[in-house]
Amino acid sequence: MIKLKYRLFIICLSLVSISTYAQVSSIQNIQSRKILSLNGKWNYIIDPYENGFYDYRHDPFDQSKSGSGGFYDDKVQKDKAELIEYNFDLSPQMNVPGDWNSQSEKLELYEGTVWLRRKFNTQPETDKRYFVYFGAVNYEAHVYLNGKKLGIHKGGFTPFQFEVTGKLKAGDNTLVVKADNTRKPDEIPTINTDWWNYGGITRDVFLAEMPQHYINDYKLQLVKGSNNTLSFSVKLADATAGQNITVSIPELKLEKTFTTDTEGTINQQFIWNKISLWSPENPKLYAVTIKSATENIQDKIGFRTIGVQGTDILLNGKSVFLRGISIHDENPLIAGRLRSEGDMRMMLQWAKDMNCNYVRLAHYPHNEEMVRLADEMGLLVWAEVPVYWTISWTNPATYANAKQQLTDLIVRDKNRASVIVWSIGNETPLSEPRHQFMGNLAETARSLDDTRLVAAALEVHRDGKTIILNDPLGEKIDLVSFNEYAGWYWGGTPSEITSYKFDIKYNKPVVITEFGGDALGGFHADENTRWSEEYQEALYKNQIKMLSQINALRGMTPWILTDFRSPRRQHPVYQNFWNRKGLISETGKKKKAFFVLKDFYNQMQIKYK
Ligand code: GCB
């Protein structure tokens, strides 16, 4: 009985720490704050049995009376009789940011817990607040500072932070992260995905020093449908009234000062003419400063409008065709998750080489830097959360998690002009509970940001030679977007697919989220031979023919820019743990189909000039 009570107590405690975190959104534009980078070499311990977390009765050390006993104590043997069965100082190191799979052969296929430790030196000041900020940890992170637990975060692709004011020591500090990438059915994503489950601290880590009443969040964007009314909002970290905040854009000679209300917020709109609008052809970003008595935040922000009218997508009031491609957060030339600006730029430059004006950042939030690069390079963005395939639709905790990830994505990227679509998921199977879940996510996205489109990658079904799209979720979203694999998973060879017709229930712009087929770069044969570049080339030619029958077609993001690693892809010759649907091979070589799509996009560019 005591044991049961104790367990309940533990469950409650862990729920408290998750939900407490859930209310705090992370600091906007972390790069422009006063930060100490905690990137670099971290010592790590692989812990498949979670020996550093549970005692031998499988009770967590950090829930025990003393709260100690786990690896987060970061103990070292003091005298020769002392028994300590781990040692961070003598353990190997890995780079942070960086997934562990690409840094050690032993960890390539590992799924489970790894402990990571970083020591750092700081001299905290008494009138400041401090936070440890993580760009992303996949999947569940337990974070400890100097042996004390800061909290838990779930979700592998969104930023989070913990306050450490009063917890830092002057001098050496020890930050320990237990990162666990175990796939679980009730999580977001769930156990089954077609991508590598890269574990670890995959994005930047910072110690941020903030003034007492710091600006936690801000937004500066055009209001829906207007090309000269700016909406400016600010949220201080706490409810402090009477703080003056000045927003300025020197190039526009714009300078405005507003005062926070009792909630510590500002929500203002004002007209400003002569704004040069952001577009792929004119990726104009303005240097913006947001200043308070104690802060000076620099950003680069573009302004544009996006909307739909009938079957048209209007960018700055003009109909556009989205010449896109899907992208994973992985560059085939570099092992593991993307982590440097150069590698990200290479990916986006490849998209530009194909004459794209649009990218789908599938299937989860990519690095903030990637979205900032899209702003700078002039690429429109579809941003997505990993609500992928068979989610636990009826579990309220699963929904809360999905909602949190969507919220964190929107909070982080809402000032990026490039982002025009919030996608709430991919290929989710029809059912009433799923419809509820997805409908609620669509409402969440709209309530957080009414200026962008909300969409999801839907599925189609077939009746003879008719491809039917009638998913009821189509009512609640702005685009008709679906994945279809005619010529690859069904429908015969590429030459047979042009006889398919479409039956689409909604009168909205159609933006195909996926089609494609695998080709092993450099393997040549006739167009009926699977895995050959010629097969993929014929598939692209005929897909384009087939899709061009759709009058409402306003864009596409075929699957996918580059080959990417996936444990689901096991053919020893053609796949070898790679999904080969890339238009660029594992070695960075453009396959034949790349040029088919490029030709089509050249034509579309002229048509929509
Ligand atoms: C899909 C998924 C994508 C897969 C792709 C494939 O429909 O959305 O994540 O990688 O198909 O290659 O099968």
Long-range contacts of 103-108, Cβ-Cβ distance < 8 Å, separation of 24 or more = 103/336, 106/46, 107/46, 107/199
Q: Determine which residue's CA is closest to atom 13 belonging to ligand 1.
A: 194
Cα 544 off chain centre by: 29
Q: How far apart are the first and last CA of the chain?
A: 73
Token pair belonging to 475: 């009512």
Strand-strand pairing, 510-512 and 553-556: parallel
DSSP H or E stretch at residue 326: strand 322-327
Query: What's the average model confidence in pLDDT over 246-254?
Result: 98
Pairing between strand 40-46 and 113-122? antiparallel
Is residue 459 in contact with ligand 1, taking CB distance under 6 Å? Answer: no
- 559 near 516, Cβ under 8 Å? yes
Secondary structure tally for the chain: helices H, strands E:
7, 35
Distance 341 CA to ligand 1 centre (A): 26
Tell me the best of 423, 514, 564, 570 to mutate to test the pocket of ligand 1, counting ligand atoms within 8 Å of each CB and taking the most: 514
**pLDDT tens digits, residue range 186-222?**
999 999 999 999 999 999 999 999 999 999 999 999 9
Contact indicator for 97, 203 with CB cutoff of 8 Å: yes
Q: Which atom of ligand 1 is nearest to the CA of 457?
A: 8
- Ligand 1: distance of its center to the CA of 371 in Å? 22
Q: What is the model's pLDDT at position 8?
A: 44
Q: Whose CA is nearest to atom 6 of ligand 1?
A: 194
**426 close to ligand 1 (CB < 6 Angstrom):** yes
Give the nearest ligand 1 atom to 564 CA: 10
Residues near 384 by Cβ (< 8 Å), separated by ≥ 6?
360, 361, 362, 363, 364, 365, 423, 424, 425, 426, 457
Ligand 1 probe mutation, 194, 426, 571, most atoms within 8 A of CB: 194
Amino acid of residue 605: Q
Burial 297-326 (b: 16+ CB within 10 A, else e): bebbbbbbbbbeeebbbbbbeeebbbbbbb
- Residue 131: pLDDT band (50, 70, 90) is very high
The mean pLDDT value of the chain amounts to 95
Residues forming beta bridges with residue 454, ordered by sequence position: 422
**Could you identify the atom of ligand 1 that is nearest to the CA of residue 426?**
8
Q: Is the pLDDT of residue 374 over 80?
A: yes
> Going from the N-terminus, what domains does the chain have, and what CATH number goes with each?
23-210 (2.60.120.260), 215-304 (2.60.40.10), 321-607 (3.20.20.80)
* 497's tokens: 């697919």
Q: Span 355-375, mean pLDDT?
A: 98
CA-nearest residue for atom 2, ligand 1, is: 194
Helices (H), 23-160: none
Kindly state the tokens that stand for 98: 């960086």
**Closest C-alpha to ligand 1, atom 7:** 483
- Per-residue pLDDT averaged across 372-388, rounded? 98
For ligand 1, atom 10, the nearest C-alpha belongs to: 194
CA 444 to chain centroid = 17
Q: How far is the CA of 328 from the centre of ligand 1 (A)?
A: 11
Q: Give the pLDDT score at 11.
A: 43
Matching residue, tokens 């854009």: 249
DSSP readout, 120-151?
EEE---TT-EEEEEES-EESEEEEEETTEEEE
DSSP 444-507: HHHHH-SSSEEEEEEE-EEETTEEEE--GGGGGSSSB-EE--BTTTBSSSGGGGGG-EEEE---
Q: Which two tokens stand for residue 259?
A: 């005062």
Q: Which two tokens stand for residue 240?
A: 């402090």
Output the CA 504–ligand 1 centroid distance in Å.
Answer: 21
- Cβ of 326 below 6 Å from ligand 1: no
Task: Please give the pLDDT value at position 24.
Answer: 60
Query: What is the model's pLDDT at position 25?
Result: 81
Cα(486) to ligand 1 centroid in Å equals 13
Instruction: Provide the residue count of the chain.
Output: 609
- Contact of 359 with 381, CB cutoff 8 Å: yes
Which residue matches tokens 């044991």?
A: 3
User: What's the 490 CA to ligand 1 centre distance in angstroms?
Assistant: 14
Residues 6+ apart with CB under 8 A from 52: 45, 61, 70, 71, 72, 86, 113, 115, 178
The residues, ordered by sequence, that sit 6+ positions from 351 with a Cβ below 8 Å of its Cβ are: 325, 327, 359, 379, 561
Determine the Cα–Cα distance for residues 236 and 225; give it in Å rounded to an integer.
Answer: 28
SS3 string, 339-394, reads: CCHHHHHHHHHHHHHCCCCEEEECCCCCCHHHHHHHHHHCCEEEEECCCECCCCCC
The fraction of the chain above a pLDDT of 90, given in percent, is 96
Q: Is the pTM of this model over 0.90?
A: yes
Encode pLDDT of 1-49 as tens digits: 344 444 444 444 444 334 333 346 899 999 999 999 999 999 999 999 9
CA dihedral 456, 462, 468, 474 (to 10 degrees): -30
- Rounded CA-CA distance 145/418 in Å is 37
Please indicate whether residue 364, judged by its CB atom, sits closer than 6 Å to ligand 1: no
* DSSP one-letter code for 24: P
pLDDT value at residue 10? 42
With a 6 A CB cut-off, is 427 part of the ligand 1 pocket? yes
With a cut of 0.90, is the ipTM above it?
yes
The predicted-structure confidence for 267-283, as pLDDT tens digits, reads as follows 999 999 999 999 999 99
**Rounded Cα distance, 534 and 540, in Å:** 10
Q: Which residues contact 183 (CB under 8 A, 6 or more apart)?
A: 111, 139, 189, 190, 191, 192, 197
Site of tokens 């969409």: 455
Q: Which atom of ligand 1 is least distant from the CA of 489?
A: 13
Q: Using the atom order of ligand 1, give the atom closest to the CA of residue 581.
A: 12
> Greater confidence, 241 or 25?
241
